Chain A
Amino acid sequence: MTSKFRGLLGLTTAAMLGVSALVTQADAATLRMAWAQDATGLDPHKQTAFSSLRLLELIYEPLVRLDADLKIVPGIAQSWEFSADGKELTFKLDPKAKFQNGDAVTSADVKASFERILDEQTGAANRANYLSIEGIEAPDAGTVVFKLKQPDAPILTAMTDTNSSIVPASEIAAGTIGTKAVGSGPFKLERWDPNSKEVLVANKDWAGGPTGVEGIEISVLPDESAILAAMRTGQVDFALLNDPLIATLVPNEAKLQLNRAPVLAYHVLQLNPARKPMNELAVRQAISCAVDRQAVLDTASLGEGKVTGPLTMPVYASDPDSLFCYKRDVEKAKKLMADAGFADGFTATVIAATGEPPTAASEAQVLQSQLAEIGVKLDIKMMELNVYVDTWLKGDFDMAVALNGGRPDPYTMYNRYWTKNGNLQQVSNFADDTLDTLLQQGRAETDPDKRKVIFADFEKQLAEKSPWVWLYTSYGYTAQQKNVQGFVPMPTGSLYSLGKVTLQQ
């Protein structure tokens, strides 16, 4: 394009669009935010989609929450303690905590919220984590006591989840949870046009207040390159990004800043040990040895991330190099294949979801070329996310490329897969005495140091038995204009610190 034409085109467009620039400058105290995927619903106990949680955690608050180092800090509860036998957990609530309808948050609301979660009829996502709860008592308005059937160390971590938010007892009684959002968090939801936009206004009654901005306006821009374009032209102050290919472009812009936080979710190649020949330990180990995890990370995510073992939380994670075959060893892999009687390799199908994560197709292709070296021929089958979820839940696959969510506690994170009666046994298809025992021990143990030892052993065993091949953890990305101040990226991906974010003029 000649420079003259370029200049002319630029001028006309500028003139054409100048109006809109003026309009958007007007209320600068509102944070203009963008994300590619919108929330899918408003019920804090039922919604598990990443984007739904990001919205709901701005509106609702749990009893306790996690800080940037994954330590448990006060939420609605000011303090808490386990009884000596570990069977009673007592919370003191923050007397300043108020719902957005003006009512104080009381022990009755906490009791009602947890009873709703525990009620099978609700279909609450977090119910499985609370099965040890025997009864909930509210001796006074500011105190809640959870009676437990057995000592349950991870229960406190589970309570940090947005899916365990406290909702008003009155709203539960009215049956309006999920249609009306009334929480005690920093922002009130004023308007929601699904797949288009959300308007949040500051909650003046917020106990942690005041907020740094008067409100947040979230736009859904399904194409991440369009989000970047909108940030470049200053139309968006803050954005959530998924695709490392887009995120890595942000630092090139002088006005923009990229926040990266390692997250707990892990990219993994799930093998299905119920299917031949993945039922053979040697075959699974061979696959693990044949995979060059760093290369998968470098290619699919442009090196944005860290090779990981099964445990992704810094407190419990072991050095990946100490785990089984984390240094690629093709010769060993070939020998293992030969030992198992598959010297000539075999053919298997690997499923992956389209765009979820954005790197899935790339990971599958790198793995395909790596496994080809030991004679394992992979056919890649990309599926629309929902079809993938359906297939995945039925365990109807040879192998699956997945991005699975992580939890701050190893037991909460993995009991669903690797305990004998875990809810997702049909997905992992792998019941193992040692793993089961270690998880149960870790659950009952309340001494942090002893727990570390137990879970280190668990991680080592898991890597060696190789039901899955853990690959890497990536980063959670947010991008912001440099005048946005005070945002703290979290390993859980939480945007909760937006409550304290300010806009510098």
Chain B
Amino acid sequence: MRILKSIFAHPSGRIGGAIVLVYLVIALCGAFGLTPHDPLMQYRIDRLHGPSASYWMGTDLFGRDVLSRLMQGVGQSFTVAFFSVASATIVGTVLGLTAAWYGKRWDTVLMRLMDVLLAFPAILLALLVVTIVGPGTWTSVAAIGIVYTPIFTRVVRGPALSLKTRDFVDAARTFGSSRTYILTRHLLLNLVAPLTVQVTLALAWALLTEAGLSFLGLGTQPPAASLGLMLSDSRNLMEQAPWLLAFPALAIMLSILGFNLLGDALRDILDPKTRRA
């Protein structure tokens, strides 16, 4: 509750939070079919119509309502972003914590492994994953998740290492607390702040990466819509139907903007090191 209040008090948190909230509502509507039209319905007579009273954002090549597809697309893009970041966070956190806790060989092996993944050019790593498994929602999730896992591992390991040597952890250990208890209760709890910030920013990046993958034709599968796919479908129609490019582009910019603003606010609020007096 307190955190919500501080977000609301922070100017960019207010804006970012509002944007993200609006998007969540849109995404839910899109996911549950609460759209002005059926996003898959092809109204063939109305192909490539500009924005009008019945199609607020116009129609696409197939005569499908762009607004409805945009809503579904937001749902889709958010699903990919959410699940990929969630999996990267969970896997990254577990790996980072255990690396910090057990140290020695395990730490070395894990971190070298993460170095291997980090040294790969991100988009090419995602691309390889997608070409091997074949594109689809869950492939995108996996691909983006794999790219971000090492980042989370590092984010967690660093602070966890320094926390491990702190007095309260030593104290807990001498009191005979179980390993799991210490790991979750003491270490994880203290890592919530940097993680939250990282998650918010990673969401913004995941949205961008999803768009990039779809742009190369390797993301969401038609006829479903995602913001990236709508963008890439529209690029050769940019001149005949600029609305096809404009609305998804705006939607993607705004969503990333929202997460970036919120991330900034959270960093100011939660991360005492960068907090200014």
* Chain A interface residues toward B at CB < 8 A: 223-225, 243, 245-246, 249, 295, 299-300, 354-355, 358, 361-362, 364-366, 368-369, 380-384, 387
Contact between chains at A299 and B221 (CB < 8 Å)? no
- Tell whether B218 is near chain A: CB-to-CB under 8 Å: yes
Q: Decide: A387 near B131, CB < 8 A? Known: A243-B236, A368-B223.
A: yes
Contact between chains at A382 and B217 (CB < 8 Å)? yes
- Tell whether B183 is near chain A: CB-to-CB under 8 Å: no
Contact between chains at B61 and A362 (CB < 8 Å)? yes
CA distance A223 to B47 in the complex (A): 24
The 8 Å CB contact of A369, one of B42, B217, B237, is: B42
CA distance A361 to B219 in the complex (A): 13
CA distance A295 to B62 in the complex (A): 10
Contact between chains at A382 and B62 (CB < 8 Å)? no
Q: Decide: A382 near B42, CB < 8 A? Known: A249-B239, A354-B217.
A: no
Contact between chains at B44 and A295 (CB < 8 Å)? yes
The 8 Å CB contact of B240, one of A249, A355, A384, is: A249
CB distance from A302 to the nearest CB of B (A): 8
**Please, could you name 24 A-B residue pairs with CB atoms under 8 Å apart, sorted by A?**
A223-B235, A224-B236, A243-B236, A249-B239, A299-B61, A299-B62, A299-B63, A354-B217, A358-B236, A365-B42, A366-B42, A366-B62, A369-B62, A380-B222, A381-B134, A381-B221, A382-B135, A382-B217, A382-B221, A382-B222, A383-B135, A384-B131, A384-B217, A387-B131
- Tell whether B40 is near chain A: CB-to-CB under 8 Å: yes
CA distance A278 to B96 in the complex (A): 52
CB distance from A386 to the nearest CB of B (A): 8
CA distance A307 to B134 in the complex (A): 32
Q: Decide: A299 near B47, CB < 8 A? Known: A364-B222, A384-B218.
A: yes
Using CB atoms, name the residue of chain B closest to A372. Answer: B40
Residues of A within 8 A of B223 (CB): 365, 368-369, 380
Residues of A within 8 A of B239 (CB): 249
CB distance from B145 to the nearest CB of A (A): 20
Q: Decide: A246 near B236, CB < 8 A? Known: A366-B62, A369-B42, A384-B131.
A: yes
Residues of A within 8 A of B238 (CB): 225
Given contacts A245-B237, A369-B40, 19 further A-B contacts (CB under 8 A): A225-B235, A225-B236, A225-B238, A245-B240, A249-B240, A295-B44, A299-B42, A355-B217, A362-B62, A364-B222, A365-B42, A365-B223, A366-B42, A380-B222, A381-B221, A382-B135, A382-B222, A383-B135, A384-B218
CB distance from A244 to the nearest CB of B (A): 9
CA distance A134 to B153 in the complex (A): 68
Residues of A within 8 A of B217 (CB): 354-355, 361, 382, 384
Residues of B within 8 A of A358 (CB): 236
- The B contact surface, by secondary structure, is loop
Using CB atoms, name the residue of chain A closest to B220. Answer: A382
Closest A-B pairs by Cβ, 8 of them:
A354-B217, A245-B236, A365-B223, A369-B42, A361-B222, A384-B131, A365-B222, A243-B236
Residues of A within 8 A of B218 (CB): 354, 384
Using CB atoms, name the residue of chain B closest to A385. Answer: B217
CB distance from A416 to the nearest CB of B (A): 27
- The A contact surface, by secondary structure, is helix
Residues of chain B from 18 to 51 with CB closer than 8 A to chain A in the complex: 40, 42, 44, 47
The 8 Å CB contact of A383, one of B44, B47, B134, is: B134
The 8 Å CB contact of B134, one of A225, A300, A387, is: A387
CA distance A361 to B221 in the complex (A): 9
CA distance A108 to B16 in the complex (A): 77
Using CB atoms, name the residue of chain A closest to B237. Answer: A245
CB distance from A294 to the nearest CB of B (A): 11
CB distance from B223 to the nearest CB of A (A): 5
Using CB atoms, name the residue of chain B closest to A368. Answer: B223
Residues of chain B from 115 to 146 with CB closer than 8 A to chain A in the complex: 131, 134-135
Using CB atoms, name the residue of chain B closest to A387. Answer: B131
CB distance from A185 to the nearest CB of B (A): 33
CB distance from B130 to the nearest CB of A (A): 8
- Of A246, A368, A382, chain B has the most CB atoms within 10 Å of the CB of A382
- Of B40, B131, B222, chain A has the most CB atoms within 10 Å of the CB of B222
Residues of B within 8 A of A368 (CB): 223
Residues of B within 8 A of A365 (CB): 42, 62, 222-223
Residues of B within 8 A of A246 (CB): 236
Residues of B within 8 A of A225 (CB): 235-236, 238
Residues of A within 8 A of B42 (CB): 299, 365-366, 369
Residues of A within 8 A of B236 (CB): 224-225, 243, 245-246, 358
> Scoring B residues 199 to 223 as 1 if CB is less than 8 Å from chain A, else 0, what string do you get?
0000000000000000001100111
Using CB atoms, name the residue of chain A closest to B238. Answer: A225
> Scoring B residues 133 to 171 as 1 if CB is less than 8 Å from chain A, else 0, what string do you get?
011000000000000000000000000000000000000
Residues of B within 8 A of A369 (CB): 40, 42, 62, 223
Residues of B within 8 A of A299 (CB): 42, 44, 47, 61-63
Using CB atoms, name the residue of chain A closest to B241. Answer: A245
Using CB atoms, name the residue of chain B closest to A378. Answer: B223
- Of A246, A364, A384, chain B has the most CB atoms within 10 Å of the CB of A384
Using CB atoms, name the residue of chain B closest to A354. Answer: B217
Residues of A within 8 A of B61 (CB): 299-300, 362
Using CB atoms, name the residue of chain B closest to A365. Answer: B223
Residues of A within 8 A of B235 (CB): 223, 225
CB distance from B102 to the nearest CB of A (A): 40
CB distance from B233 to the nearest CB of A (A): 8
Using CB atoms, name the residue of chain A closest to B224. Answer: A380
CA distance A369 to B43 in the complex (A): 11
CA distance A34 to B176 in the complex (A): 73
Residues of A within 8 A of B135 (CB): 382-383
Residues of B within 8 A of A245 (CB): 236-237, 240
- Of B42, B217, B235, chain A has the most CB atoms within 10 Å of the CB of B217
Residues of A within 8 A of B62 (CB): 299, 362, 365-366, 369
Residues of A within 8 A of B237 (CB): 245
CA distance A241 to B239 in the complex (A): 16
Residues of B within 8 A of A380 (CB): 221-223
Residues of A within 8 A of B222 (CB): 361, 364-365, 380, 382
- Of B40, B61, B218, B240, chain A has the most CB atoms within 10 Å of the CB of B61
Residues of A within 8 A of B47 (CB): 299
CA distance A246 to B239 in the complex (A): 9
CA distance A249 to B237 in the complex (A): 10
Using CB atoms, name the residue of chain B closest to A295. Answer: B44
CA distance A452 to B221 in the complex (A): 43
CA distance A381 to B44 in the complex (A): 23
Using CB atoms, name the residue of chain A closest to B236. Answer: A245
